């Protein structure tokens, strides 16, 4: 399990960017096993001219059914 992230951003948008950067950094730190690929489930693209950032997440999940309804749970994929 990865270490918890301490957010320093004062807005939800800043914290979303920090989360994406932390996940991407953790993915880059993974050394894949032989003949395996390193994870690449988070993409952060910066547009300097427009002052924008695009973030894309692809996270493994499980779906289960409870009396309260469907539950979607993220599955850990990073060490």
Please state, in angstroms and rounded to a whole number, the distance separating the CA atoms of residues 36 and 75. 19
Please state, in angstroms and rounded to a whole number, the distance separating the CA atoms of residues 39 and 63. 21
Number of domains in the chain: 1
CB-side exposure of 54: number of CA atoms within 13 Å? 5
Q: At residue 29, does pLDDT exceed 70?
A: yes
Residue 43 is encoded by which pair of tokens? Answer: 């993409």
pLDDT value at position 36?
83
Summarize pLDDT for 8-25 with one digit per residue, the tens: 999 999 999 999 999 999
**Position 79 in a domain:** no
Read off the pLDDT of each residue in 15-44 and give the average, rounded to a whole number: 90
Which domain covers residue 40, as residue numbers?
12-74
**Position 50 in a domain:** yes
Q: At residue 1, does pLDDT exceed 70?
A: no
pLDDT value at position 33?
82
**Residue 70 three-state SS:** strand
């Amino acid at each position: 399990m990865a270490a918890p992230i301490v957010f320093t951003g004062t807005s939800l948008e800043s914290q979303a960017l920090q989360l994406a950067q932390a996940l991407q950094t953790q993915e880059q730190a993974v050394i894949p096993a032989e003949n395996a690929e390193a994870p690449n489930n988070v993409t952060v693209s910066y547009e300097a001219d427009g002052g924008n950032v695009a973030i894309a997440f692809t996270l493994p999940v499980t779906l289960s059914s409870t009396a309260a309804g469907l539950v979607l749970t993220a599955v850990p994929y990073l060490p």
